[in-house]
Each structure stands twice: as structure tokens, then as C-alpha cells.
């Protein structure tokens, strides 16, 4: 097999494919799948951890763009609900990649990862700020939605909600709506 010309994009795509296939990500296995040698990957990434953070950055940026496209033109509570449902569905379609991203240590040492997560948080804050007036309530709503979404992704992908009396999709949306209604009531009380 002729050696493949590598690019950063090809390496990240190969790493994503390995993660989604459930293969342990190493330069050796990745190079083999790309038709190259592991030493060639060092030209692009100094170590596996740098590659892992590049995958996290790519995955978060891609997810943000897809969710932003799905919520474009929406506003109010409908946009917030659409945001959480879209993020959850995307993560569950790529559950191994989502779990990989969610289990990587957050570090301030990687500005690309920090920026990618900040962009997602900013998008959520824009939606929340359009509905809730009280600053503390907005913070609680943002954190609650992130906690609920991440927790549900992990629970569903691990099979914790399989075979229940209510489908996980239905219970997630119902819980999100109930939480938002509660926060809206608290917001109204706080801004009287």
C-alpha cells in the first residue's frame, strides 16, 4: 500500500473514526489505519494528548455549528429547548465520541479547547439571556441545562434508561420543560 499524504484534518478524522469504532487511540493504530507510519504523525502532533485535545476541539466546534444551525431563527423557550434537544441527539448519535469528549480533563493549557467550549457556552447564554432577566437565575439555568444534558447523554449511552416505562427522549424533554418553567417562575419573582 502506498504511503498516504497526511494532513491535520486527515489525522483528526482518522482519530475520530477510531474513537467511534471503540479502538484505543494510539499513534501506531492511527498510522496503520491511515496507511502511514506513526513517526509521520509526530510532525503534526507532539503526543497523543495533543491529538486528543485536537479531537475535542474539532468535536465541540462541529457540534456547536450543527446545533447553532438547528436553532437558527428560533427564540425564547423554544430555542433553549431546541438547543438542548439538538445537542443531546447529536451526542447520542455519536455516543463514543461524546463520552470521549466529556471525559477529557478540562485544561486552561489548551486555548483551542477553551475557546471551543466558550463558544458553546456563549451560544447557550445568548438563548438564556433572551428569556430570563435575573443574572443569578440565568447562571442557574445555564448550569442546570448543561448538567441535565451531559448527565442524560452519559446515562442513556451507558444504558441506564433502557427498558423503562417512559422513553428516555420523552422524559428528558419533559424534565427540561419542567425545569425551565420553574426557573421562569423564580425569574418572575426575582424581578418583581
pTM of the full predicted structure?
0.86
3-state class of 104 per DSSP? coil
Beta-carbon contacts of 44 under 8 Å, excluding residues fewer than 6 positions away, are 6, 7, 8, 11
Among 60, 57, 54, 61, smallest CA distance to 25 is for 54
CB 110 within 8 A of CB 53: yes
| The predicted structure's pLDDT at residue 142 | 95
Give the CA angle between residues 83, 90, 161 to the nearest 5°.
95
Displacement of CA 20 from its chain's centroid (Å): 14
Q: What is the DSSP string of 49-74?
A: HHHHHHHHHHHHHHHHHHHHHHHTT-
Q: Give 147: exposed, middle or buried? Use CB within 10 Å, 0-12, 13-18, 19+.
A: exposed
| The predicted structure's pLDDT at residue 167 | 77
| The predicted structure's pLDDT at residue 169 | 83
CB 90 within 8 A of CB 67: yes
CB 80 within 8 A of CB 32: no
Cα separation, 81 vs 62, in Å, equals 19
Q: What is the pLDDT along the chain (192 residues), one digit of tens a residue?
A: 455 678 999 999 999 999 999 999 999 999 999 999 889 999 999 999 999 999 999 999 999 999 999 888 888 999 999 999 999 999 999 999 999 998 887 777 788 988 999 999 999 999 999 999 999 999 999 999 999 999 999 888 888 877 767 778 888 999 999 999 999 999 999 987
Amino acid at each position: 500500500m502506498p504511503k498516504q499524504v497526511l494532513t491535520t484534518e486527515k489525522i483528526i478524522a482518522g482519530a475520530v473514526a477510531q474513537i467511534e469504532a471503540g479502538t484505543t487511540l494510539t499513534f501506531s493504530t492511527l498510522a496503520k489505519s491511515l496507511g502511514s507510519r506513526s513517526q509521520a504523525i509526530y510532525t503534526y502532533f507532539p503526543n497523543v494528548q495533543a491529538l486528543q485535545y485536537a479531537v475535542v476541539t474539532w468535536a465541540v466546534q462541529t457540534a456547536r455549528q450543527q446545533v447553532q444551525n438547528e436553532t437558527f431563527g428560533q427564540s425564547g423557550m423554544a430555542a433553549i429547548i431546541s438547543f438542548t434537544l439538538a445537542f443531546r441527539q447529536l451526542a447520542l448519535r455519536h455516543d463514543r465520541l461524546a463520552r470521549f469528549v466529556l471525559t477529557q480533563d478540562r485544561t486552561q493549557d489548551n486555548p483551542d479547547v477553551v475557546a471551543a467550549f466558550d463558544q458553546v457556552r456563549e451560544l447557550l447564554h445568548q438563548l438564556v439571556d433572551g428569556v430570563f432577566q435575573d443574572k443569578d437565575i440565568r447562571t442557574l439555568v445555564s448550569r442546570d441545562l448543561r448538567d441535565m444534558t451531559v448527565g442524560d447523554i452519559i446515562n442513556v449511552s451507558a444504558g441506564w434508561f433502557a427498558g423503562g416505562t417512559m422513553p428516555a427522549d420523552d422524559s428528558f424533554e419533559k424534565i427540561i420543560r419542567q425545569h425551565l418553567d420553574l426557573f421562569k417562575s423564580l425569574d418572575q419573582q426575582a424581578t418583581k
